Amino acid sequence: MNRMDTTATPLRVGLLGFGLAGSVFHAPLIAGTPGLVLDTVVTSDPERRKRAREAGAPGGEVRTVASADELFADADRLDLVVVATPNRTHVPLTHRALDAGLPVVVDKPLAPTGAEARELAAKAESRGLLLAPFQNRRWDNDFLTLRSLLAEDALGEVFRFESRFERWRPRLKGGWRESGDPEEVGGLLYDLGSHVVDQALTLFGPAASVYAESDVRRAGAAADDDTFIAITHESGVRSHLWMSATAAQLGPRFRVLGSRAAYVKYGLDPQESALRGGGRPVEGAPWGVEPEDAWGTLGAQDPPGALRTVPTLDGDYPAFYDAVAGALREGTPPPVTAHEAAAALQVLETARSFARGG
């Protein structure tokens, strides 16, 4: 079967995992993407299997299987596999998908290390298969707005990029994400850090040096829950990145300082909240829209009146799977590459080593 020549029928997607990532992010976005159909979901949990069967397009029922073995035994029915399982399984399951001749989307982080990410990239390239890490926050509303302002040179020369992904979660939720076992690849460094580092590198280019602080603040916690990374980019820009579950008051999501102006934006993109609440993107309908009172400001404190409100562009998570479908059908570049993920993972590895005194 030629997977690049499937224009007559929808591309059939197999989704490995139906926890937070699979049920909240991937399944709704796949089901809402023209040209894709959610065909099979892998989950052994009875309640999740019930919800997964209803996660496809209206009027269709999704097939569920209990194990990855069952999915790969019937790989010929699929055109794409999405890996949305716990972090420790990303690498082995991606290898299995590529070995089965299937293109793959992998939830972040692609791998525990840059070396493993590059190995997966080489394997996909040698077999002519798509491998796209799911870095959905490149389509956050604030990121898209900042990228547009930079393209317009609205800030002048950028000196410092400050990015905060902070939460107030003083009580532990439990589960593998808060495990101290390094095999689980948990903690905020690899969770939220995968997003903020990817955004910084996308905006300002490769890292020349990295500094980091990483702490375990909450009683009973075993994984980092309060982390800071400073990147000096080869471009000369400095990125200061905060990730925290212990922020009782939140700082600005972005503060970007330039030679002519600064851009300051509070609050998180609304798409995750909408998806968690059962909202679904529908082609042609408004999505990712932010109220005017949440828009950021651009300008300088002096002279008075130099600050102005900047309308926030709409968030656009559906663009990721639109681009995946285009890459499979037309051979266009993937929305995110494994090599880009490897560069971010190299920064995360360096940050972890530095924070440990390495």
Measure Cα distances from 17 to 42, 64, 179, 231 in Å: 6, 11, 19, 33
Report pLDDT for 103. Answer: 98
**Least confident span in 98-107, 162-171, 277-286:** 277-286
**Structure token digits, residue 322:** 């639109």
Per residue in 201-250, pLDDT (tens digit) is: 999 999 999 999 999 999 988 999 999 999 999 999 999 999 999 999 99
Average pLDDT over residues 130-152: 98
Confidence class of residue 4 from pLDDT cuts 50, 70 and 90? Answer: very low
Question: Would you give the distance in Å from CA 180 to the centre of its chain?
Answer: 22
State yes or no: pLDDT of 186 exceeds 70.
Answer: yes
Query: How many other β-carbons are positioned within 10 Å of the β-carbon of residue 311?
Result: 10
Per residue in 10-52, pLDDT (tens digit) is: 999 999 999 999 999 999 999 999 999 999 999 999 999 999 9
As a whole number of angstroms, the distance between CA 130 and CA 7 comes to 17
What percent of the chain clears pLDDT 70, i.e. is strictly above it?
97
Average pLDDT, the chain: 94
Confidence class of residue 1 from pLDDT cuts 50, 70 and 90? Answer: very low
State yes or no: pLDDT of 153 exceeds 90.
Answer: yes
Say what the pTM is.
0.94
What b/e readout covers 89-116, taking b as 16+ CB neighbours within 10 angstroms?
Answer: bbbebbebbbebebbbbbbbbbbbbbeb
Report pLDDT for 28. Answer: 96
As a whole number of angstroms, the distance between CA 110 and CA 112 comes to 7
Q: What is the dihedral of CA 173, 174, 175, 181, to 10 degrees?
A: 130
- Domain coordinates in residue numbering, the chain: 11-136+320-337, 141-316+346-355
Report pLDDT for 181. Answer: 82
Whether the Cβ atoms of residue 215 and residue 226 lie closer than 8 Å to each other: yes
Per residue in 81-129, pLDDT (tens digit) is: 999 999 999 999 999 999 999 999 999 999 999 999 999 999 999 999 9
Whether the Cβ atoms of residue 234 and residue 208 lie closer than 8 Å to each other: yes
Query: How many other β-carbons are positioned within 10 Å of the β-carbon of residue 4?
Result: 15
Report pLDDT for 180. Answer: 81
**Structure token digits, residue 131:** 């491998």
Domain covering 11-136+320-337: architecture? 3-Layer(aba) Sandwich (3.40)
Residue 155: DSSP 8-state? S
Report pLDDT for 182. Answer: 84
Question: Between vectors from CA 195 to CA 192 and to CA 197, what angle results, nearest 5°?
Answer: 105
Element (H, E) at 354: helix 338-355
Residue 61: burial class (beta carbons within 10 Å; 0-12, 13-18, 19+): exposed
Residue 24: DSSP 8-state? I
Maximum pairwise Cα distance, the chain: 67
Confidence class of residue 358 from pLDDT cuts 50, 70 and 90? Answer: low
Q: Answer whether CATH 3.30.360.10 is correct for domain 141-316+346-355.
A: yes
Residue with tokens 């798409």: 271
State yes or no: pLDDT of 196 exceeds 60.
Answer: yes
Element (H, E) at 65: strand 63-65
State yes or no: pLDDT of 5 exceeds 50.
Answer: no
State yes or no: pLDDT of 328 exceeds 70.
Answer: yes
Q: What is the dihedral of CA 176, 181, 187, 189, to 10 degrees?
A: -140
Confidence class of residue 184 from pLDDT cuts 50, 70 and 90? Answer: confident
Whether the Cβ atoms of residue 269 and residue 142 lie closer than 8 Å to each other: yes
Confidence class of residue 2 from pLDDT cuts 50, 70 and 90? Answer: very low
Report pLDDT for 67. Answer: 97
